[in-house]
Chain A
Amino acid sequence: MIEVKNLCKRFDNQAAVNNLSFRVESGQFCMLVGTSGCGKSTTLRMVNRLIEPSSGQILINDQDVTSLPPEQLRRRIGYAIQGVGLFPHKTIYQNIATVPRLLGWNKGDINARVAELLTLFKLDVDTFAGKYPHQLSGGEQQRVGVARALAARPELLLMDEPFGALDPLTREHLQDELLRVQKLLGITIIMVTHDLEEAVKMADVIAVMDKGEILQMDTPEALLRHPRAGFVQNLVGGLDRALRLLTIQQVSEVMTTLNAGTLPPSTPTISHGTNLRDALSLLIWEHAERLGVVNDAGDVIGQVAMAELLQQGART
Protein backbone atom coordinates (compact mmCIF):
# COMPACT_ATOMS: atom_id res chain seq x y z
CA MET A 1 0.00 0.00 0.00
CA ILE A 2 1.31 3.41 -0.99
CA GLU A 3 0.17 6.42 0.96
CA VAL A 4 1.02 9.95 -0.10
CA LYS A 5 0.40 12.67 2.46
CA ASN A 6 0.41 16.42 1.76
CA LEU A 7 3.15 16.10 -0.82
CA CYS A 8 4.55 19.38 -2.18
CA LYS A 9 7.33 20.12 -4.60
CA ARG A 10 8.45 23.61 -5.56
CA PHE A 11 10.97 24.44 -8.27
CA ASP A 12 12.18 28.04 -7.88
CA ASN A 13 9.07 28.97 -5.94
CA GLN A 14 6.87 27.50 -8.67
CA ALA A 15 4.67 24.75 -7.23
CA ALA A 16 4.96 21.63 -9.42
CA VAL A 17 3.08 19.44 -6.97
CA ASN A 18 0.75 21.09 -4.54
CA ASN A 19 -0.38 19.40 -1.32
CA LEU A 20 -1.10 16.04 -2.87
CA SER A 21 -2.63 13.20 -0.84
CA PHE A 22 -3.76 9.83 -2.13
CA ARG A 23 -3.64 6.11 -1.47
CA VAL A 24 -2.96 3.15 -3.72
CA GLU A 25 -3.87 -0.27 -2.30
CA SER A 26 -1.57 -3.27 -2.74
CA GLY A 27 -2.07 -5.00 -6.06
CA GLN A 28 -3.86 -2.02 -7.59
CA PHE A 29 -3.02 -0.46 -10.93
CA CYS A 30 -3.09 3.29 -10.47
CA MET A 31 -2.84 5.73 -13.36
CA LEU A 32 -1.80 9.36 -12.99
CA VAL A 33 -3.36 11.15 -15.94
CA GLY A 34 -2.91 14.74 -17.01
CA THR A 35 -1.40 17.07 -19.58
CA SER A 36 2.35 17.75 -19.77
CA GLY A 37 3.61 19.77 -16.86
CA CYS A 38 0.73 18.85 -14.54
CA GLY A 39 3.16 17.33 -12.02
CA LYS A 40 2.41 13.65 -12.65
CA SER A 41 6.02 12.66 -13.46
CA THR A 42 7.32 14.76 -10.59
CA THR A 43 4.94 12.91 -8.26
CA LEU A 44 6.09 9.54 -9.57
CA ARG A 45 9.76 10.44 -9.23
CA MET A 46 9.27 11.50 -5.64
CA VAL A 47 8.07 7.98 -4.76
CA ASN A 48 11.52 6.51 -5.50
CA ARG A 49 13.25 9.72 -4.44
CA LEU A 50 14.71 10.66 -7.80
CA ILE A 51 13.26 13.98 -6.70
CA GLU A 52 13.14 14.97 -3.05
CA PRO A 53 9.84 16.53 -1.97
CA SER A 54 9.76 20.06 -0.59
CA SER A 55 7.40 18.81 2.09
CA GLY A 56 5.03 15.97 2.81
CA GLN A 57 5.42 12.26 3.27
CA ILE A 58 5.30 9.06 1.20
CA LEU A 59 4.72 5.74 2.95
CA ILE A 60 5.17 2.33 1.35
CA ASN A 61 3.58 -0.36 3.54
CA ASP A 62 3.60 2.17 6.40
CA GLN A 63 7.34 2.72 6.02
CA ASP A 64 8.51 6.24 5.20
CA VAL A 65 10.57 6.25 1.99
CA THR A 66 13.11 8.52 3.65
CA SER A 67 13.90 5.83 6.22
CA LEU A 68 16.12 4.07 3.66
CA PRO A 69 19.10 5.44 1.70
CA PRO A 70 17.77 6.39 -1.77
CA GLU A 71 19.82 3.75 -3.62
CA GLN A 72 18.53 0.93 -1.42
CA LEU A 73 14.97 2.20 -1.73
CA ARG A 74 15.20 2.27 -5.54
CA ARG A 75 16.52 -1.29 -5.73
CA ARG A 76 13.26 -2.40 -4.12
CA ILE A 77 11.05 -0.43 -6.50
CA GLY A 78 10.77 -1.22 -10.21
CA TYR A 79 11.18 1.73 -12.56
CA ALA A 80 10.44 1.80 -16.29
CA ILE A 81 10.53 4.92 -18.46
CA GLN A 82 9.53 6.05 -21.92
CA GLY A 83 13.06 6.10 -23.37
CA VAL A 84 13.59 2.60 -21.88
CA GLY A 85 17.21 3.49 -21.10
CA LEU A 86 18.67 0.05 -21.72
CA PHE A 87 22.46 0.05 -21.36
CA PRO A 88 23.67 -0.06 -24.99
CA HIS A 89 27.02 -1.64 -24.10
CA LYS A 90 25.47 -4.52 -22.16
CA THR A 91 23.63 -7.60 -23.35
CA ILE A 92 19.96 -8.20 -22.63
CA TYR A 93 21.05 -10.66 -19.95
CA GLN A 94 23.31 -8.11 -18.29
CA ASN A 95 20.65 -5.43 -18.53
CA ILE A 96 18.05 -7.53 -16.78
CA ALA A 97 20.59 -8.71 -14.21
CA THR A 98 21.40 -5.12 -13.16
CA VAL A 99 19.45 -4.86 -9.92
CA PRO A 100 19.96 -8.49 -8.81
CA ARG A 101 23.70 -7.89 -9.22
CA LEU A 102 23.50 -4.68 -7.21
CA LEU A 103 21.73 -6.70 -4.51
CA GLY A 104 24.45 -9.35 -4.60
CA TRP A 105 22.38 -12.33 -5.78
CA ASN A 106 24.39 -15.40 -6.67
CA LYS A 107 24.91 -16.36 -10.28
CA GLY A 108 22.51 -19.31 -10.29
CA ASP A 109 19.62 -17.21 -8.96
CA ILE A 110 20.33 -14.47 -11.50
CA ASN A 111 20.44 -16.94 -14.40
CA ALA A 112 17.15 -18.47 -13.34
CA ARG A 113 15.50 -15.09 -12.85
CA VAL A 114 16.60 -13.70 -16.23
CA ALA A 115 15.32 -16.81 -17.99
CA GLU A 116 12.05 -16.63 -16.06
CA LEU A 117 11.49 -12.97 -16.98
CA LEU A 118 12.34 -13.39 -20.65
CA THR A 119 9.90 -16.28 -20.81
CA LEU A 120 7.26 -14.22 -18.99
CA PHE A 121 7.52 -11.57 -21.71
CA LYS A 122 7.52 -14.19 -24.46
CA LEU A 123 11.10 -13.58 -25.50
CA ASP A 124 13.10 -16.71 -26.30
CA VAL A 125 15.93 -17.01 -23.79
CA ASP A 126 18.53 -18.50 -26.13
CA THR A 127 17.81 -15.94 -28.84
CA PHE A 128 17.66 -12.81 -26.72
CA ALA A 129 19.90 -13.23 -23.67
CA GLY A 130 23.11 -12.58 -25.61
CA LYS A 131 21.80 -9.84 -27.88
CA TYR A 132 22.51 -6.15 -27.52
CA PRO A 133 19.68 -3.58 -27.21
CA HIS A 134 20.21 -2.12 -30.70
CA GLN A 135 19.43 -5.53 -32.22
CA LEU A 136 15.90 -5.44 -30.78
CA SER A 137 12.76 -3.73 -32.06
CA GLY A 138 11.20 -0.90 -30.04
CA GLY A 139 8.58 -3.20 -28.59
CA GLU A 140 11.14 -5.84 -27.62
CA GLN A 141 13.32 -3.18 -26.02
CA GLN A 142 10.45 -1.97 -23.88
CA ARG A 143 9.59 -5.55 -22.88
CA VAL A 144 13.18 -5.95 -21.73
CA GLY A 145 12.90 -2.57 -19.98
CA VAL A 146 9.90 -3.77 -17.98
CA ALA A 147 11.54 -7.16 -17.34
CA ARG A 148 14.60 -5.34 -16.03
CA ALA A 149 12.41 -3.24 -13.74
CA LEU A 150 10.83 -6.43 -12.34
CA ALA A 151 14.10 -8.34 -11.98
CA ALA A 152 14.47 -8.14 -8.21
CA ARG A 153 10.79 -8.99 -7.57
CA PRO A 154 9.69 -5.52 -6.46
CA GLU A 155 6.24 -5.19 -4.97
CA LEU A 156 5.87 -1.77 -6.52
CA LEU A 157 6.48 -0.80 -10.13
CA LEU A 158 6.67 2.84 -11.25
CA MET A 159 6.20 3.53 -14.95
CA ASP A 160 6.60 6.87 -16.69
CA GLU A 161 4.78 6.75 -20.05
CA PRO A 162 6.52 3.47 -20.86
CA PHE A 163 4.60 2.88 -24.08
CA GLY A 164 4.48 6.48 -25.28
CA ALA A 165 7.05 6.09 -28.05
CA LEU A 166 5.67 2.86 -29.52
CA ASP A 167 3.41 2.45 -32.55
CA PRO A 168 -0.29 1.85 -31.70
CA LEU A 169 -0.26 -1.87 -32.46
CA THR A 170 2.86 -2.61 -30.42
CA ARG A 171 1.55 -0.39 -27.64
CA GLU A 172 -1.66 -2.39 -27.44
CA HIS A 173 0.25 -5.68 -27.29
CA LEU A 174 2.45 -4.42 -24.50
CA GLN A 175 -0.50 -3.04 -22.55
CA ASP A 176 -2.16 -6.45 -22.69
CA GLU A 177 1.06 -8.14 -21.66
CA LEU A 178 1.60 -5.79 -18.78
CA LEU A 179 -1.93 -6.43 -17.50
CA ARG A 180 -1.37 -10.17 -17.74
CA VAL A 181 1.96 -9.93 -15.90
CA GLN A 182 0.49 -7.67 -13.23
CA LYS A 183 -2.37 -10.09 -12.55
CA LEU A 184 0.09 -12.96 -12.46
CA LEU A 185 2.52 -11.32 -10.05
CA GLY A 186 0.01 -9.30 -8.04
CA ILE A 187 2.27 -6.24 -7.96
CA THR A 188 1.21 -2.66 -7.39
CA ILE A 189 1.74 -0.36 -10.37
CA ILE A 190 1.69 3.41 -10.52
CA MET A 191 1.85 4.60 -14.11
CA VAL A 192 2.01 8.07 -15.57
CA THR A 193 0.27 8.68 -18.89
CA HIS A 194 -1.36 11.45 -20.87
CA ASP A 195 -3.40 8.90 -22.82
CA LEU A 196 -6.88 8.60 -21.35
CA GLU A 197 -7.66 5.52 -23.43
CA GLU A 198 -4.62 3.76 -21.98
CA ALA A 199 -5.69 4.78 -18.48
CA VAL A 200 -9.27 3.58 -18.88
CA LYS A 201 -8.15 0.31 -20.38
CA MET A 202 -5.57 -0.60 -17.76
CA ALA A 203 -6.20 1.14 -14.47
CA ASP A 204 -8.10 0.01 -11.39
CA VAL A 205 -8.04 3.60 -10.26
CA ILE A 206 -7.32 6.81 -12.18
CA ALA A 207 -6.10 10.06 -10.66
CA VAL A 208 -6.65 13.04 -12.94
CA MET A 209 -4.07 15.73 -12.26
CA ASP A 210 -3.88 19.35 -13.27
CA LYS A 211 -1.57 22.12 -12.08
CA GLY A 212 0.01 19.93 -9.43
CA GLU A 213 -3.23 18.77 -7.85
CA ILE A 214 -5.45 15.72 -8.09
CA LEU A 215 -8.87 16.85 -9.32
CA GLN A 216 -10.55 13.47 -9.15
CA MET A 217 -9.48 9.97 -8.21
CA ASP A 218 -11.90 7.21 -9.09
CA THR A 219 -12.37 3.91 -10.86
CA PRO A 220 -12.44 4.26 -14.65
CA GLU A 221 -16.18 3.65 -14.71
CA ALA A 222 -16.99 6.19 -12.02
CA LEU A 223 -14.71 8.71 -13.69
CA LEU A 224 -16.41 8.28 -17.06
CA ARG A 225 -19.94 8.29 -15.64
CA HIS A 226 -19.55 11.05 -13.09
CA PRO A 227 -16.67 13.37 -13.98
CA ARG A 228 -16.31 16.52 -11.93
CA ALA A 229 -17.15 19.70 -13.78
CA GLY A 230 -14.26 21.58 -15.34
CA PHE A 231 -10.98 19.96 -16.36
CA VAL A 232 -12.05 16.36 -15.71
CA GLN A 233 -15.34 16.86 -17.57
CA ASN A 234 -13.42 18.26 -20.54
CA LEU A 235 -10.92 15.42 -20.43
CA VAL A 236 -13.32 12.47 -20.27
CA GLY A 237 -16.65 13.92 -21.41
CA GLY A 238 -16.15 13.59 -25.16
CA LEU A 239 -18.77 12.09 -27.47
CA ASP A 240 -16.97 8.75 -27.42
CA ARG A 241 -17.30 8.22 -23.71
CA ALA A 242 -19.94 5.52 -24.16
CA LEU A 243 -17.43 3.58 -26.22
CA ARG A 244 -14.72 4.21 -23.61
CA LEU A 245 -17.05 2.73 -21.01
CA LEU A 246 -17.33 -0.39 -23.13
CA THR A 247 -13.55 -0.85 -23.12
CA ILE A 248 -13.53 -1.32 -19.35
CA GLN A 249 -15.45 -4.60 -19.24
CA GLN A 250 -14.69 -7.92 -20.81
CA VAL A 251 -17.21 -10.09 -22.61
CA SER A 252 -16.95 -12.74 -19.91
CA GLU A 253 -18.31 -10.27 -17.33
CA VAL A 254 -21.62 -9.63 -19.12
CA MET A 255 -22.30 -12.83 -21.05
CA THR A 256 -25.07 -15.27 -20.24
CA THR A 257 -23.76 -18.76 -19.69
CA LEU A 258 -24.68 -21.33 -22.27
CA ASN A 259 -24.16 -25.02 -22.71
CA ALA A 260 -22.14 -26.07 -25.70
CA GLY A 261 -24.14 -26.77 -28.84
CA THR A 262 -27.17 -24.62 -28.02
CA LEU A 263 -26.04 -21.81 -30.33
CA PRO A 264 -26.94 -21.79 -34.06
CA PRO A 265 -23.79 -22.84 -35.93
CA SER A 266 -23.66 -19.65 -38.01
CA THR A 267 -23.35 -17.35 -34.96
CA PRO A 268 -20.04 -15.42 -34.97
CA THR A 269 -17.88 -16.07 -31.90
CA ILE A 270 -15.50 -13.99 -29.84
CA SER A 271 -12.90 -14.78 -27.16
CA HIS A 272 -14.05 -14.33 -23.55
CA GLY A 273 -11.23 -11.88 -22.77
CA THR A 274 -12.24 -9.37 -25.46
CA ASN A 275 -13.55 -6.01 -24.28
CA LEU A 276 -17.12 -4.94 -25.01
CA ARG A 277 -16.13 -2.28 -27.48
CA ASP A 278 -14.44 -4.79 -29.74
CA ALA A 279 -17.39 -7.14 -29.30
CA LEU A 280 -19.76 -4.39 -30.44
CA SER A 281 -17.52 -3.68 -33.38
CA LEU A 282 -17.70 -7.33 -34.38
CA LEU A 283 -21.49 -7.32 -34.11
CA ILE A 284 -21.70 -4.33 -36.42
CA TRP A 285 -19.26 -5.90 -38.84
CA GLU A 286 -21.03 -9.26 -38.91
CA HIS A 287 -24.46 -7.64 -38.98
CA ALA A 288 -25.43 -10.02 -36.19
CA GLU A 289 -27.72 -9.75 -33.18
CA ARG A 290 -25.68 -11.94 -30.84
CA LEU A 291 -22.19 -13.37 -30.42
CA GLY A 292 -21.04 -16.71 -29.09
CA VAL A 293 -18.38 -16.44 -26.41
CA VAL A 294 -15.58 -19.01 -26.51
CA ASN A 295 -12.90 -19.83 -23.93
CA ASP A 296 -9.20 -20.23 -24.62
CA ALA A 297 -9.77 -23.82 -25.74
CA GLY A 298 -12.31 -22.64 -28.33
CA ASP A 299 -15.39 -24.12 -26.63
CA VAL A 300 -18.56 -22.03 -26.57
CA ILE A 301 -19.25 -21.02 -22.97
CA GLY A 302 -21.82 -18.27 -23.36
CA GLN A 303 -23.47 -15.66 -25.50
CA VAL A 304 -23.85 -11.91 -25.50
CA ALA A 305 -26.58 -9.95 -27.28
CA MET A 306 -26.45 -6.52 -28.89
CA ALA A 307 -28.96 -5.03 -26.44
CA GLU A 308 -26.90 -6.18 -23.45
CA LEU A 309 -23.79 -4.60 -24.91
CA LEU A 310 -25.50 -1.30 -25.64
CA GLN A 311 -26.92 -1.21 -22.12
CA GLN A 312 -23.40 -1.28 -20.67
CA GLY A 313 -22.48 1.94 -22.43
CA ALA A 314 -25.58 3.81 -21.39
CA ARG A 315 -25.57 6.81 -19.03
CA THR A 316 -27.35 4.90 -16.26
Chain B
Amino acid sequence: MKTRYFQGWLGVTIPLLLLLLLTLQMVWLEPLFRPLVDARAPAIYARDSFLNLLLWHLAAVFIAILAATLVALGGGILVTRPVGRDFLPLARAIANLGQTFPPVAVLALAVPALGFGLTPTLVALFLYGMLPIYENTVTGLQQVPGSVIEAARGMGMGPLQQLFSVELPLALPAIIAGIRMSLVISIGTATIGSTVAAKGFGEVIIAGLLTDNMAFVLQGGVMVALVAIVIDGIFQRIEQRLSPPG
Protein backbone atom coordinates (compact mmCIF):
# COMPACT_ATOMS: atom_id res chain seq x y z
CA MET B 1 0.00 0.00 0.00
CA LYS B 2 2.76 2.40 1.01
CA THR B 3 4.85 1.61 -2.06
CA ARG B 4 1.87 1.89 -4.38
CA TYR B 5 1.10 5.28 -2.94
CA PHE B 6 4.69 6.32 -3.50
CA GLN B 7 4.64 5.02 -7.07
CA GLY B 8 1.45 6.94 -7.70
CA TRP B 9 3.35 10.13 -7.00
CA LEU B 10 6.47 9.20 -8.99
CA GLY B 11 4.88 10.65 -12.14
CA VAL B 12 4.82 14.00 -10.38
CA THR B 13 7.96 13.97 -8.29
CA ILE B 14 10.36 13.13 -11.12
CA PRO B 15 9.21 15.97 -13.43
CA LEU B 16 9.08 18.24 -10.38
CA LEU B 17 12.68 17.49 -9.41
CA LEU B 18 13.74 17.95 -13.02
CA LEU B 19 11.92 21.28 -13.15
CA LEU B 20 13.58 22.53 -9.96
CA LEU B 21 16.97 21.33 -11.11
CA LEU B 22 16.74 23.06 -14.48
CA THR B 23 15.32 26.20 -12.90
CA LEU B 24 18.29 26.54 -10.56
CA GLN B 25 21.10 24.92 -12.55
CA MET B 26 20.37 25.22 -16.29
CA VAL B 27 24.09 26.02 -16.71
CA TRP B 28 24.91 22.37 -16.11
CA LEU B 29 23.40 21.62 -19.49
CA GLU B 30 25.60 24.09 -21.35
CA PRO B 31 27.59 21.30 -23.12
CA LEU B 32 24.29 19.95 -24.47
CA PHE B 33 23.11 23.28 -25.85
CA ARG B 34 26.48 24.54 -27.09
CA PRO B 35 26.38 22.71 -30.48
CA LEU B 36 23.01 24.35 -31.25
CA VAL B 37 24.33 27.91 -31.34
CA ASP B 38 27.11 30.03 -32.89
CA ALA B 39 30.37 30.01 -31.06
CA ARG B 40 29.98 33.67 -30.02
CA ALA B 41 26.36 33.47 -28.88
CA PRO B 42 25.40 32.47 -25.31
CA ALA B 43 24.09 28.89 -25.03
CA ILE B 44 22.13 29.48 -21.80
CA TYR B 45 19.57 32.28 -21.40
CA ALA B 46 20.98 34.64 -18.81
CA ARG B 47 19.08 37.94 -19.13
CA ASP B 48 16.92 36.88 -16.19
CA SER B 49 17.07 33.98 -13.72
CA PHE B 50 14.97 30.93 -14.58
CA LEU B 51 13.59 31.02 -11.05
CA ASN B 52 12.30 34.53 -11.55
CA LEU B 53 10.73 33.56 -14.88
CA LEU B 54 9.14 30.48 -13.33
CA LEU B 55 7.56 32.51 -10.56
CA TRP B 56 6.21 35.12 -12.97
CA HIS B 57 4.90 32.43 -15.31
CA LEU B 58 3.13 30.61 -12.51
CA ALA B 59 1.80 33.82 -11.00
CA ALA B 60 0.21 34.88 -14.29
CA VAL B 61 -1.38 31.47 -14.81
CA PHE B 62 -2.66 31.03 -11.26
CA ILE B 63 -4.07 34.54 -10.90
CA ALA B 64 -5.88 34.28 -14.24
CA ILE B 65 -7.23 30.78 -13.60
CA LEU B 66 -8.26 31.61 -10.05
CA ALA B 67 -10.37 34.46 -11.39
CA ALA B 68 -11.66 32.25 -14.24
CA THR B 69 -12.57 29.55 -11.69
CA LEU B 70 -14.52 31.94 -9.50
CA VAL B 71 -16.51 33.32 -12.42
CA ALA B 72 -17.02 30.00 -14.23
CA LEU B 73 -17.96 28.14 -11.05
CA GLY B 74 -20.39 30.89 -10.04
CA GLY B 75 -21.86 30.92 -13.53
CA GLY B 76 -22.10 27.13 -13.69
CA ILE B 77 -23.90 27.00 -10.34
CA LEU B 78 -26.22 29.83 -11.31
CA VAL B 79 -27.40 28.33 -14.60
CA THR B 80 -28.17 24.99 -12.95
CA ARG B 81 -30.42 26.62 -10.31
CA PRO B 82 -34.13 27.01 -11.08
CA VAL B 83 -33.75 30.82 -11.25
CA GLY B 84 -30.87 30.74 -13.73
CA ARG B 85 -31.93 27.87 -15.96
CA ASP B 86 -33.08 30.26 -18.69
CA PHE B 87 -29.54 31.62 -18.98
CA LEU B 88 -27.99 28.22 -19.68
CA PRO B 89 -27.78 28.60 -23.51
CA LEU B 90 -26.71 32.25 -23.30
CA ALA B 91 -23.93 31.54 -20.80
CA ARG B 92 -22.67 28.68 -22.93
CA ALA B 93 -22.55 30.98 -25.98
CA ILE B 94 -20.53 33.57 -24.07
CA ALA B 95 -18.08 31.00 -22.72
CA ASN B 96 -17.69 29.51 -26.20
CA LEU B 97 -16.98 32.96 -27.61
CA GLY B 98 -14.20 33.42 -25.04
CA GLN B 99 -12.70 30.13 -26.18
CA THR B 100 -12.91 30.76 -29.93
CA PHE B 101 -11.44 34.25 -29.70
CA PRO B 102 -7.68 33.71 -30.20
CA PRO B 103 -5.57 34.86 -27.22
CA VAL B 104 -3.29 36.76 -29.59
CA ALA B 105 -6.26 38.81 -30.72
CA VAL B 106 -7.23 39.45 -27.11
CA LEU B 107 -3.72 40.69 -26.44
CA ALA B 108 -3.78 42.93 -29.49
CA LEU B 109 -7.10 44.42 -28.40
CA ALA B 110 -6.20 44.66 -24.73
CA VAL B 111 -2.84 46.39 -25.07
CA PRO B 112 -4.21 49.77 -26.24
CA ALA B 113 -6.63 49.74 -23.31
CA LEU B 114 -4.49 48.22 -20.58
CA GLY B 115 -0.93 48.94 -21.70
CA PHE B 116 1.93 46.48 -21.96
CA GLY B 117 2.90 43.89 -19.36
CA LEU B 118 1.08 41.43 -17.18
CA THR B 119 -2.47 42.84 -17.29
CA PRO B 120 -3.40 42.10 -20.93
CA THR B 121 -1.94 38.61 -20.51
CA LEU B 122 -4.11 38.02 -17.46
CA VAL B 123 -7.20 39.12 -19.39
CA ALA B 124 -6.41 36.77 -22.28
CA LEU B 125 -5.73 33.81 -19.99
CA PHE B 126 -8.83 34.56 -17.92
CA LEU B 127 -11.11 34.60 -20.98
CA TYR B 128 -9.47 31.56 -22.47
CA GLY B 129 -9.55 29.56 -19.25
CA MET B 130 -13.21 29.98 -18.39
CA LEU B 131 -14.85 27.57 -20.84
CA PRO B 132 -13.42 24.23 -19.63
CA ILE B 133 -14.20 25.09 -16.02
CA TYR B 134 -17.69 26.31 -16.84
CA GLU B 135 -18.50 23.31 -19.03
CA ASN B 136 -17.26 20.85 -16.44
CA THR B 137 -19.11 22.58 -13.61
CA VAL B 138 -22.39 22.43 -15.51
CA THR B 139 -21.83 18.83 -16.61
CA GLY B 140 -20.78 17.78 -13.10
CA LEU B 141 -23.83 19.35 -11.50
CA GLN B 142 -26.19 17.95 -14.12
CA GLN B 143 -24.80 14.45 -13.64
CA VAL B 144 -25.89 14.26 -10.00
CA PRO B 145 -28.56 11.51 -10.11
CA GLY B 146 -32.16 12.73 -9.98
CA SER B 147 -33.00 10.32 -7.18
CA VAL B 148 -30.26 11.82 -5.00
CA ILE B 149 -31.62 15.34 -5.50
CA GLU B 150 -35.17 14.11 -4.90
CA ALA B 151 -34.10 12.42 -1.66
CA ALA B 152 -32.22 15.53 -0.51
CA ARG B 153 -35.26 17.71 -1.14
CA GLY B 154 -37.64 15.16 0.34
CA MET B 155 -35.67 15.04 3.57
CA GLY B 156 -35.92 18.78 4.00
CA MET B 157 -32.61 20.15 2.82
CA GLY B 158 -32.79 23.76 1.74
CA PRO B 159 -31.45 24.81 -1.68
CA LEU B 160 -28.07 25.87 -0.24
CA GLN B 161 -27.72 22.69 1.84
CA GLN B 162 -28.47 20.65 -1.28
CA LEU B 163 -25.85 22.57 -3.23
CA PHE B 164 -23.05 22.46 -0.67
CA SER B 165 -23.51 19.09 0.97
CA VAL B 166 -24.75 17.06 -2.00
CA GLU B 167 -24.37 18.61 -5.46
CA LEU B 168 -20.97 20.31 -5.24
CA PRO B 169 -19.19 17.40 -3.49
CA LEU B 170 -20.50 15.05 -6.19
CA ALA B 171 -19.56 17.44 -9.00
CA LEU B 172 -16.16 18.31 -7.52
CA PRO B 173 -14.04 15.77 -9.46
CA ALA B 174 -15.46 17.11 -12.73
CA ILE B 175 -14.86 20.70 -11.65
CA ILE B 176 -11.25 19.95 -10.66
CA ALA B 177 -10.76 18.27 -14.04
CA GLY B 178 -11.96 21.48 -15.71
CA ILE B 179 -9.56 23.58 -13.65
CA ARG B 180 -6.74 21.20 -14.54
CA MET B 181 -7.47 21.53 -18.26
CA SER B 182 -7.58 25.31 -18.00
CA LEU B 183 -4.30 25.42 -16.09
CA VAL B 184 -2.48 23.24 -18.60
CA ILE B 185 -3.81 25.20 -21.56
CA SER B 186 -2.90 28.48 -19.84
CA ILE B 187 0.64 27.39 -19.05
CA GLY B 188 1.20 27.02 -22.79
CA THR B 189 -0.81 30.07 -23.77
CA ALA B 190 0.97 32.30 -21.24
CA THR B 191 4.11 32.17 -23.40
CA ILE B 192 2.54 34.52 -25.92
CA GLY B 193 2.15 37.06 -23.11
CA SER B 194 5.83 37.77 -23.55
CA THR B 195 5.04 39.41 -26.91
CA VAL B 196 3.51 42.22 -24.88
CA ALA B 197 6.33 42.21 -22.34
CA ALA B 198 4.84 40.02 -19.63
CA LYS B 199 7.52 38.11 -17.76
CA GLY B 200 7.63 34.31 -18.15
CA PHE B 201 9.24 31.51 -20.09
CA GLY B 202 7.78 32.95 -23.30
CA GLU B 203 10.50 35.59 -23.01
CA VAL B 204 13.19 32.92 -23.47
CA ILE B 205 11.45 31.46 -26.52
CA ILE B 206 10.90 34.86 -28.12
CA ALA B 207 14.49 35.91 -27.45
CA GLY B 208 15.58 32.69 -29.13
CA LEU B 209 13.36 33.30 -32.15
CA LEU B 210 14.57 36.91 -32.54
CA THR B 211 18.26 36.06 -32.34
CA ASP B 212 17.97 32.75 -34.17
CA ASN B 213 19.13 30.94 -31.02
CA MET B 214 17.71 27.39 -31.01
CA ALA B 215 19.11 26.71 -27.54
CA PHE B 216 16.95 29.47 -26.02
CA VAL B 217 13.83 28.21 -27.82
CA LEU B 218 14.48 24.71 -26.57
CA GLN B 219 15.12 25.87 -22.99
CA GLY B 220 11.91 27.90 -22.90
CA GLY B 221 9.93 25.08 -24.46
CA VAL B 222 11.27 22.43 -22.08
CA MET B 223 10.54 24.57 -19.04
CA VAL B 224 6.95 25.26 -20.14
CA ALA B 225 6.38 21.57 -20.83
CA LEU B 226 7.75 20.55 -17.43
CA VAL B 227 5.54 23.05 -15.61
CA ALA B 228 2.52 21.73 -17.50
CA ILE B 229 3.36 18.10 -16.69
CA VAL B 230 3.86 18.85 -13.00
CA ILE B 231 0.63 20.85 -12.62
CA ASP B 232 -1.34 18.28 -14.61
CA GLY B 233 0.01 15.46 -12.42
CA ILE B 234 -0.76 17.22 -9.15
CA PHE B 235 -4.32 18.07 -10.17
CA GLN B 236 -4.99 14.60 -11.51
CA ARG B 237 -4.16 13.22 -8.10
CA ILE B 238 -6.33 15.78 -6.32
CA GLU B 239 -9.15 14.77 -8.66
CA GLN B 240 -8.75 11.08 -7.77
CA ARG B 241 -8.63 11.87 -4.10
CA LEU B 242 -11.89 13.78 -4.26
CA SER B 243 -13.79 11.25 -6.37
CA PRO B 244 -16.58 9.62 -4.37
CA PRO B 245 -15.76 6.00 -3.53
CA GLY B 246 -17.00 3.47 -6.06
Contacts and interface: CB of A to CB of B under 8 A. Distances in A.
Interface string B217-246: 000000000000000000000000000111
Interface of B: 145-158, 161, 166, 169-170, 244-246
Nearest to A132: B245
A99 B154 CA distance: 10
Given A83-B147, A88-B244, A48 B154 contact: yes
Interface residues of A, number: 29
B151 A84 contact: yes
Contacts of B166: 87
A75 B145 CA distance: 21
A102 B149 CA distance: 16
Interface centre among A85, A87, A148 (most CB of B within 10 A): A85
B153 A50 contact: yes
A89 B154 contact: no
B170 A73 contact: no
Contact of A74 (B145, B146, B155, B245): B155
Interface of A: 48, 50, 70-75, 79, 81-89, 98-99, 102, 132-135, 145, 148-149, 158
A88 B155 contact: no
Contact of B148 (A50, A75, A82, A87): A87
Contacts of A102: 155-157, 161
B143 to A, nearest CB: 11
10 contacts: A48-B154, A71-B156, A72-B156, A74-B156, A79-B154, A82-B147, A83-B151, A85-B149, A85-B154, A89-B169
B246 A132 contact: yes
Contacts of B148: 85-88
A241 B63 CA distance: 73
A183 to B, nearest CB: 24
A13 B169 CA distance: 38
A134 B244 CA distance: 10
